[in-house]
Structure 1
Amino acid sequence: MTTSLALCFDAPLQSWGTRSRGIIRDTAREPTKSGVVGLLAAALGARRDDDETTQRLAALHLAIRVDREGILERDYHTTQNVPTTEGKGHRTVVSERYYLADALFLVVLEGDPDLLHQLHDRADRPHWPLFFGRRAFVPARPLLTEDALTAAPAAEVISTHRWLEADPDAIKAARLGADRVPLRTITDCEPAKHGAQPRHDHPVSIAQRTFRTRYVLNATTDLTDALIRAGESTSCS
């Protein structure tokens, strides 16, 4: 039996790094699989060196709908008195850190029913605090959406789940037809799928920071009247 779990990722700031070593800390424009797995592992209370749980979570089919595109922002950091690698004195380190402001995502996981039920039980009662890429970037509202667990495949949930937008002005504008554009989607797929694109963010071991490549399909789904009407009177709960 197909089981999917729908989650709401909403926060003033989010960061989903893909190449965050050295002085440049980047962010993808939507949650990475490694980031989603890390967050879910924290909810379950799995340790960083629990590779079995990491791989069980990473095996879930991931689909993301971008309900509000975030604004890409950059912080310029300077850190003084950093010890040199030779241990002879100190230096100042300059880094650039990117993040998304005001982004909103519908994150859908499909797969092992037992695991998804565990995640449903822990999503809003996490073992450890949850954050979106950096410890200061905490959720603005509960992760669980209404009817979070469904028997529908992720592809169906992505196209039929209510719009998660909670801003009355944005909802009104969309309802009237102003600035209504299709919602971007990013979905796990087979490598042979036409249009498949590689993403090197499928975690194998969080503790050892090892990853393998997965493939995703970038597409869009229409922001329909039904999705907007369903979102007008409900919120993530």
Structure 2
Amino acid sequence: MTFSLALCLDAPMQSWGIQSRFTVRETTTEPTKSGVVGLLGAALGIHRDDTERLSQLARLRMGVRVDREGILERDYHTAQNVPTTAGTGHRTVISQRYYLADALFLVVLEDDGPTLLQQAAEALRHPHWPLCFGRKSFVPARPLLRTGEGDQDDLRTGAAVQEKPLQDVLTEHPWLETRSSIHQRNLAAIDAGEVIALRTMVECPPATPGAQSRRDQPISWARDDRRFATRTVLSGQVPLTPALIAAGEPCS
């Protein structure tokens, strides 16, 4: 049996870096595996040097559906009085930090049993540490778990975990967009015959045709032993349908 947990990642600003170095901090165009595992680790209260517990989260299969493409933005930072590497004085450091503005993602995690996903879901409702999307100031704009279905008792018992494969959740989960004006505009476009597709990025076996490499599979986050491995993902599309739009949660 296969079980899945769907997360809503919505924030004014998000940053998901893989190759950030020194004065240039980049971001990918969708959440990284390391970033999502870190998010779950914060919710569960797992310390960065607890490699065993983090590895349990890292083995979850992950898929992403882009419900709203973000706008790539750049911050220009200047830090003064930074000690030199030689320790002989201070200097001014200029850095460029990229982030996504107004992005919205459906992230789906898959496992062969419900227990770990249910633990993660409960922790996301009552996180041990504050949650953020890549930087401490990039906080969620709404709950990560959709609460539009079922009562609170159902939610507490793990109803967020579904007995279905990741790909089915990506295809069937209600659209996360909340703006009624956007709903109406897309419904009109679909009625006029336009095909609207939501981009997906799904973890896959290395031999899958068209697979792309991502060096964001966490191995260790210990302060003196940060290591990541390469995983493979496959880019795809999910059609946006009137049913997905109608099942969404418009609020304005």
User: Residue 233 of structure 1: CA displacement?
Assistant: 5.6
Q: What SS does structure 1 have at the residue aligned with 2:248?
A: helix
CA contact (8 A) 1:76 1:97 kept: yes
Q: How does 1:156-175 map to 2 (within 5 A)?
A: 156-175=168-187
Which amino acid in the other structure matches residue 175 of structure 1? L
Q: Return the letter of the residue paired with 1:228.
A: I
Unpaired segments ≥5 residues, structure 1: none
Which amino acid in 2 is paired with 1:132? F
Matches within 5 A, 1:13-28: 13-28=13-28
Q: 1:92, 1:181 → 2: CA distance?
A: 47
- For 2:125, the equivalent position in structure 1 comes to 124
Segments of structure 2 that go 5 or more residues without pairing to the other structure are 148-158
Which of 215, 225, 232 is the matching residue for 2:232? 215
Alpha-carbon distance in structure 1 between the residues aligned to 2:146 and 2:65: 14
CA drift at 1:203: 0.1
Counterpart-to-counterpart distance in 1, 2:93 and 2:232: 35
Once the 2 structures are TM-superposed, how far is the Cα of residue 87 of structure 1 from its aligned partner? 1.2
1:182 and 1:234 map into 2 onto residues whose CA distance is: 22
Amino acid at match of 2:244: L
Deviations 1:161-207 (A, max 9, x none): 00000011111111111786200000000001111111000000112
**Equivalent position SS for 1:12:** strand
Corresponding residue number in structure 2 for 1:196? 211
Contact 1:7 1:148 (C-alpha < 8 Å) held by counterparts: no
Q: TM-score, normalised by structure 2?
A: 0.90
Cα deviation, residue 53, structure 1: 1.3
Amino acid at match of 1:121: E
1:58-207 matches, cutoff 5 A: 58-111=58-111, 112-146=113-147, 148-177=160-189, 181-207=196-222
Give the SS at the match of 2:9: strand
Do the aligned residues in 2 keep the contact of 1:81 with 1:91 (CA within 8 Å)? Answer: yes
Displacement of 1:225 in angstroms is 0.9
Aligned counterpart, 2:11 = 11
CA-to-aligned-CA distance 1:66-105 (integer Å, 9 cap, x gap): 0000000001111111111111111110100000000000
Measure the CA separation in 1 of the matches of 2:195 and 2:10: 20
Query: Deviation at 1:232?
Result: 4.6
- Displacement, 1:148? 2.7
SS in 1 for 2:189: coil
Question: For 2:95, what is the secondary structure of its paired residue?
Answer: strand
**DSSP-derived class of the 2:54 partner:** helix
CA distance in 2, matches of 1:232, 1:173: 15
TM-score (norm 1): 0.95
2:41 counterpart of 1:41? yes
Q: CA separation in 2, counterparts of 1:168 and 1:87?
A: 56
**Matched-pair contact (CA < 8 Å) for 2:177–2:250:** no
Q: 1:32 to 1:165 in 2, by over 3 A?
A: same
* Aligned pairs, number: 235
Aligned mates of 2:142, 2:195 — CA distance in 1:
24
Aligned-residue Cα RMSD (Å) equals: 1.5
Q: Distance in 2 between matches of 1:185 and 1:28?
A: 14
- Write the distance in 1 (CA, Å) between the matches of 2:182 and 2:122: 31
Amino acid at match of 1:107: V
